């Protein structure tokens, strides 16, 4: 299939993991599990020749295409993509920044609903990933476990009796499993308790990271919680650490903080989220950071019932679709940053007005 | 008000609610607040380097480390020095070849040295036969380069044979006559 048409269709839709459904979806955006796997008969990526990389890509592709359940799979050759299309896939969280910026043969395969993807020739030969809306690690695990089994049926993995699945970096060896839960924690940020969360993380071997990676806590109040170790614990135990122990605790803190805000200054809060929606739906130029900042407030407003005519799924989608590469794909051409700010504002206006009916914020 | 860690003005006031003891307030400048928040986001290279540094403190001498740095994997050629600098290994065989040097590292990173959890349903290749396959593949590429296609196709057949040996569910045998022959570990002692 033509990659260009494929991408334009992709740009107009959004992944199922953004639906805003699933357990705890007022706070949990998505659950993601990835498995790192390597082929037994090739060196790790760093030591691969160009022929090796080509050969891995061809082998894996052929084997994936032979899997019957996967006949609707979309296979994208990353090496052939333009810079902007790579960025687009990064924004969509289908590929990593590392594989986007790398050289040589590399690819990604995904299902049409974007619930799973397999990166080929990233840091490891295979990075299998499953995304799920809300906090639903059991469903995500069931799916990735079966994908892994199907791949293993025709690909010989590098596996060691004692050390488990062998990976290029010893930080991933063993299960090769990284489970990441994306949380929206605006009330913990507003009430300045987010540090408490970070503190408790340090004790229990999980990692926290800001979603958009800039290191600022004002990038939209999104935090990703993941397991730190991969060896010496079963997959189920790692999932349970994140999904049954750590995340529910953070959810509880965030709920308390939200309740506290509502109770203490409901009027201020209502004013704040309504202004945020007002700015987003009337601005003529708006930067990406500002958009994130206000979308985060609106998202909380929707979840607290202070804004009732915007869908959660719309807000989730706007976070992704207002990023630079998405705007440019949707607009059909390259845009400078000031043009992007104009396009972003108009995109927001169209989507928020479509939802909330006429005139409410004019 | 000044930052708790430096002379700059504190612009972040973070209240920590430690349940039994009541609220505790921290005052930090932007830089220290950011450092604090980012501390957990360590890169693999940093955590490998960190774990190795700890290992050095735990009694490995500088001379020992220098000797270790020169050690090179016979399969992929990576030196321990290169691994130390990049945080990435060169091939699956490195886990066997550098095993005694990696164990303290794994302990530091994972607080464990043994895999618990999922295993491939197929027979896993032994470390030696995995190494042998990587070597054969390299020889095959070289043969193609030298246009020795006969040799290249011999190697390809051997690789296929090795892979089909492993192509069965572990641990029982299937009652298929063809596979008995394939079960003799042909390539295994050659490396
Ligand atoms: Zn400071
Ligand atoms: Zn090696």
Q: For the segment A222-237, what is each residue's pLDDT rounded down to a tens digit?
A: 888 888 899 999 999 9
pLDDT for the residue B13: 58
Is the pLDDT confidence value at A71 over 60?
yes
Is the pLDDT confidence value at A29 over 50?
yes
**A37 SS3 class:** strand
Prediction ipTM score: 0.86
Distance between CA atoms of B58 and B92, rounded to whole angstroms?
27
Instruction: Give φ, ψ of B74 to 5 degrees.
Output: -70, -20
Distance from CA of B149 to the nearest CA of A (A): 16
pLDDT for the residue A282: 95
Please enumerate, as own/partner, the contacts of B93-100 that have beta carbons within 8 Å and a separation of 24 or more: B93/B127, B93/B130, B93/B131, B93/B134, B95/A160, B95/A163, B95/A166, B95/A173, B95/B127, B96/A160, B96/B127, B96/B131, B97/B73, B98/B71, B98/B73
Q: Do B141 and A175 touch (CB under 8 A)?
A: no
- Compute, in angstroms, the gap from residue B16 CA to the centroid of ligand 1: 18
Q: Least CB-CB distance to B117: which of A43, A207, A234?
A: A234
Find the residue in A nearest to B142 (Cα).
A51
Q: Do A41 and B134 touch (CB under 8 A)?
A: yes
Residues in A closer than 8 angstroms to B141, CB to CB, are 49, 51-52
Higher pLDDT, A350 or A217: A350
pLDDT for the residue A97: 81
pLDDT for the residue A57: 95
Q: Which residues are within 8 A (CB) of A235 and not within 5 positions of it... i.e. 6 or more apart?
A: A141, A145, A175, A177, B117, B118
pLDDT for the residue B44: 52
Q: Do B122 and A163 touch (CB under 8 A)?
A: no
Q: Do A232 and B113 touch (CB under 8 A)?
A: yes
pLDDT for the residue A22: 82
Nearest ligand to residue B83 Cα: 2
Higher pLDDT, A23 or A16: A23
pLDDT for the residue A223: 83
What ranges do the domains of chain B cover?
Answer: 1-41, 44-110, 127-167
Count the neighbouring beta carbons within 10 Å of the beta carbon of residue A143. 18
Sign of CA dihedral B146, B148, B154, B157: positive
Confidence band of B176 (pLDDT split at 50, 70, 90): very low
- Compute, in angstroms, the gap from residue B130 CA to the centroid of ligand 2: 11
Nearest ligand to residue B77 Cα: 2
Instruction: Map out the domains of chain A with their CATH numbers.
Output: 7-255 (3.30.590.10), 263-353 (no CATH)
pLDDT for the residue B27: 73
Beta strands B12-18; A116-120: pairing state: unpaired
Mean pLDDT, chain A, integer: 86
At A168-186, the pLDDT tens digits run: 999 999 999 999 999 999 9
**C-alpha torsion angle, residues B106, B110, B116, B122 (rounded to 10):** -50
In A1-48, alpha helices (H) = 3-12
The tally of CA atoms less than 13 A away on the side-chain side of residue B135 is 15
């Amino acid at each position: 299939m033509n990659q260009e048409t494929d991408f334009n269709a992709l740009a107009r839709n959004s992944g199922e993991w953004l639906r805003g459904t699933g357990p705890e979806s007022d706070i949990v955006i998505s659950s993601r599990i990835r498995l790192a796997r390597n082929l037994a008969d090739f060196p790790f990526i760093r030591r691969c020749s160009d022929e090796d990389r080509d050969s891995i890509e061809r082998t894996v592709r052929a084997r994936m295409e032979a899997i019957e359940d996967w006949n609707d799979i979309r296979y994208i050759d990353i090496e052939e993509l333009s810079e902007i299309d790579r960025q687009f896939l990064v924004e969509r969280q289908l590929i990593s920044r590392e594989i986007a910026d790398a050289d040589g043969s590399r690819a990604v395969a995904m299902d049409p609903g974007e619930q799973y993807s397999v990166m080929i020739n990233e840091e490891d030969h295979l990075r299998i990933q499953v995304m799920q809306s809300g906090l639903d690690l059991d469903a995500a695990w069931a799916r990735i476990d079966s994908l892994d089994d199907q791949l293993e049926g025709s690909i010989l993995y590098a596996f060691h009796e004692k050390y488990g699945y062998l990976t290029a970096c010893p930080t991933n060896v063993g299960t090769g499993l990284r489970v990441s839960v994306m949380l929206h924690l605006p009330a913990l940020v507003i009430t300045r308790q987010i540090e408490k969360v970070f503190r408790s993380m340090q004790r229990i071997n999980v990692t926290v990271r800001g979603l958009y990676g800039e290191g600022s806590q004002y990038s939209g109040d999104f935090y990703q919680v993941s397991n730190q170790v991969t060896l010496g614990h079963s997959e189920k135990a790692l999932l349970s650490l994140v999904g049954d122990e750590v995340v529910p605790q953070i959810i509880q803190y965030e709920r308390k903080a939200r309740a506290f805000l509502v109770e203490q200054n409901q009027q201020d809060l209502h004013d704040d989220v309504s202004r945020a929606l007002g700015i987003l739906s009337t601005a003529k130029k708006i930067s990406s950071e500002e958009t994130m900042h206000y979308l985060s407030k609106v998202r909380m407003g929707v979840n607290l019932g202070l804004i009732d005519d915007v869908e959660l799924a719309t807000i989730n989608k706007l976070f992704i679709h207002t990023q630079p590469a998405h705007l440019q794909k949707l607009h059909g051409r390259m845009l400078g940053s000031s043009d992007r700010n104009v396009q972003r504002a108009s995109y927001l206006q169209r989507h928020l007005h479509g939802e909330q009916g006429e005139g409410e914020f004019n | 008000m000044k930052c708790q860690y430096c002379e700059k003005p504190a612009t972040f006031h973070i209240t920590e609610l430690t349940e039994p003891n009541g609220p505790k307030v921290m005052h930090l400048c932007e830089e220290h607040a950011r450092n604090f928040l980012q501390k957990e986001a360590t890169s693999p290279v940093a955590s490998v380097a960190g774990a190795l540094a700890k290992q050095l403190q735990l009694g490995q001498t500088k001379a020992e480390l220098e000797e270790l740095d020169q050690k090179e994997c016979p399969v992929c050629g990576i030196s321990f020095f290169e691994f130390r600098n990049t945080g990435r290994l060169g091939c699956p065989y490195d886990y066997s070849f550098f095993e005694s040097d990696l164990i303290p590292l794994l302990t530091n990173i994972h607080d464990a040295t043994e895999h618990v959890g999922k295993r491939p349903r197929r027979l896993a290749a032994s470390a030696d036969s995995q190494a042998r396959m990587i070597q054969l593949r390299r020889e095959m590429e070289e043969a193609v380069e030298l246009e020795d296609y006969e040799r290249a196709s011999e190697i390809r057949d051997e690789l296929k044979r090795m892979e089909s040996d492993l192509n069965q569910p572990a641990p029982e045998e299937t009652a298929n006559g063809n596979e008995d022959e394939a079960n003799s570990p042909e390539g295994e002692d050659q490396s």
